[in-house]
Structure 1
Amino acid sequence: MRKLAIITFLTLDGVMQAPGTPEEDPSGGFAHGGWAVNYWDEVMEQVMGEAMAAPYDLLLGRKTYESFAAYWPNAGDDPISNKLNKATKFVATSTLSKLEWENSMRITGDIAAEVSRLKHQDGPLLQV
């Protein structure tokens, strides 16, 4: 049985967003994209390096998949992009019928049951 881990970038007042760019996700009028970049330091670099070093598959929702799939396949040849591109990506979606990013698989229907099924399979960590 494998474990599920969640990597979250969260402010004390509840803003949760990846450490991307200011235009990362302006939906709903959100104007503070990329907030985490200013706080990235050597401790964060070490923590993320350790998290990314272990073998893992990805469990993604549609929006995160779309954001990642638009960026990582074209990010160049570096350890993080190579690892993300080679990882198996399980995508919870009821709207995307075709997933272009290599090693991507749709999961639909009862998502909780599907995640439980994935956890009971042999394999690396499921990283959200």
Structure 2
Amino acid sequence: MARKVTGGCFLSLDGVMQAPGGPTEDTQGGFDEGGWMFKIWDPGIEQTLGALFSGDYDLLLGRRTYDIFAAYWPYAEEPENRPMRDAFDAANKYVLTRGDQPLEWQNSHRLAGIEDVARNKHSEGSDIIIQGSSTIYPDLLAAGLIDELVLMTFPVVLGQGKRLFGGGTPVDKFEMIDHRVTDQGTVIATYRPGGKLPPYPAEGPIGAKSEREAERQRKMAAGIW
């Protein structure tokens, strides 16, 4: 039986997931709104986080998210952080990376490509949670390796930053299987892949093409519209 792979994402309304945790978490691209999630912290998401990180689980991370986690969680001595620190220490951490840098955090394992992720998914072990790691989603979705997305969308627009559905994301449908809205307006929705987007229906509202529309189409095709 395959292991379940769930992506748990903190998002802005414009789809940004970069550096929700702190100002210095990830400043790539000149991103200067790091820590945005804690600027508007919503305790209404704690129920979802508790369910997501309950029981045994392993982590699937991109290399940069791994670097962020490995530099923080093993050293998180604050009493309120110790339960998550201990759970992350104990979890297998599968790092999808083409590099050969040392993975010194205990229970860390290198995955060189999507084929390795697929083999890992179909091996024995705990279910797998993805945290951060925006760049790995397009390939994972294209390969059909994600079973669920738990998207926590906060009522904020950031205007720039790394997004969940970046370049190379396949055209797919999703089925919403659960949703709720917190008192502060964070939308928590859980989706499963729902198959390919069907073609435009023959009975769709295309309408008759006027000469003006034909000219617009010609300009669009020529790149001058």
TM-score by length of 1: 0.91
CA shift, 1:18, in A, is: 4.8
Q: For 1:123 and 1:40, how far apart are their aligned partners in 2?
A: 33
What is the match of residue 50 of structure 2?
A: 49
Pair 1:99 & 2:99 matched: no
Q: Extract unaligned runs of 5+ from structure 1.
A: none
Alignment of structure 1 residues 37-76 onto 2, 5 Å: 37-76=38-77
Q: Are 2:23 and 2:35, in contact at CA under 8 Å, matched by a contact in 1?
A: yes
Relative to its length, the structure with more helix (as a share) is 1
Moved over 2 A (4+): 38-42
Compute the displacement of 1:39 (Å): 3.0
Cα distance in 1 for partners of 2:19, 2:10 equals 6
* Cα distance in 1, alignment partners of residues 64 and 93 from structure 2: 13
Aligned residues: CA RMSD: 1.4
- Matched with 1:125 is 127
Q: Confirm or deny: 8 A CA contact 2:60 2:93 kept in the other structure.
A: yes
Paired with 1:118 and 1:104, the residues of 2 have a C-alpha distance of 13
Check the 8 A contact 1:90/1:106 in 2, yes or no: yes
Instruction: Report the CA distance between 1:40 and its aligned residue.
Output: 2.5
Shift of 1:98: 1.2
**Kept after mapping to 1: 8 A contact 2:58/2:92:** yes
Q: Aligned match of 1:88 in 61, 86, 92? A: 92
**1 CA distance for matches of 2:29 and 2:20?**
18
CA contact (8 A) 2:19 2:26 kept: no
In structure 2, how many angstroms separate the alpha carbons of the residues matched to 1:8 and 1:125?
A: 17
Aligned-residue sequence identity (percent) comes to: 47
How far apart are 1:125 and its partner, in Å?
A: 0.9
The normalised TM-score by structure 2 is 0.53
Cα shift at 1:41: 2.4
8 Å contact from structure 1 (residues 62, 96) kept in 2: no
Give the number of the structure whose residues are more often strand, by fraction: 2
Shift of residue 55 of structure 1?
1.3
Could you list the per-position Cα deviations for residues 33-68 of structure 1 after superposition, in whole angstroms to 9, with x for gaps in the alignment? 111113322221111111111311111111000000
Give the whole-Å Cα distance in 2 for the aligned partners of 1:105 and 1:117.
13
Which whole-Å CA distance do the structure 2 matches of 1:18 and 1:87 have between them?
22
The answer on whether the counterparts of 2:94 and 2:108 sit within 8 Å (CA) in structure 1 is yes
The structure whose Rg is larger is 2
| More contact order relative to length (CA 8 Å, sep ≥ 6) | 1
Is 1:115 aligned to 2:117, yes or no? yes
Q: Whole-Å Cα distance in 2 between the matches of residues 124 and 10 of structure 1?
A: 26
